[in-house]
Amino acid sequence: DIQMTQSPSSLSASVGDRVTITCRASQSINTYLNWYQQKPGKAPKLLIYAASSLQSGVPSRFSGSGSGTDFTLTISSLQPEDFATYYCQQSHSDPTFGQGTRLEIK
């Protein structure tokens, strides 16, 4: 299994802040890395695929970068609707997810 480790596990931020979440794979996954947003009681929503490609309909304040083992998700200016839990997921082999990062309002 490829293990995915996100940091931080939680963070507090304010509307308008720039936020970065990191995800590290236990071995190289090239750019087979996706990011999802999940709000309470809802299914996850795809934000970024292939490490840096923005899914259709997702606001441009979301961006992703990285390759190999280290990846980041950046939200350039937090909006009220962005407070949620974020998961990374590798699709290089049997899919595995990070443990999640809970983004809370400061």
Partner 1 sequence: QLQLQESGPGLVKPSETLSLTCTVSGGSISSSTYYWGWIRQPPGKGLEWIGSVFHTGRTHYNPSRKSRVTISVDTSKKQFSLKVRSVTAADTAVYYCARISSGTYFEMIDYWGQGTLVTVSS
List interacting residues with partner 1 (CB under 8 A). Answer: 1, 31-32, 34, 36, 42-46, 49-50, 53, 55, 87, 89, 91, 94-100
Which of residues 17 and 30 has its CB atom nearest to partner 1 in the complex?
30
33 burial via Cβ count (<10 Å: 0-12, 13-18, 19+): buried
Q: Which is nearer to partner 1, 42 or 80 (CB)?
A: 42
Query: For 77, phi and psi rounded to 5 degrees?
Result: -150, 100
CA angle (9 as vertex; 13, 44 as ends), nearest 5: 85
Shortest reach from residue 19's CB to partner 1, in Å? 20
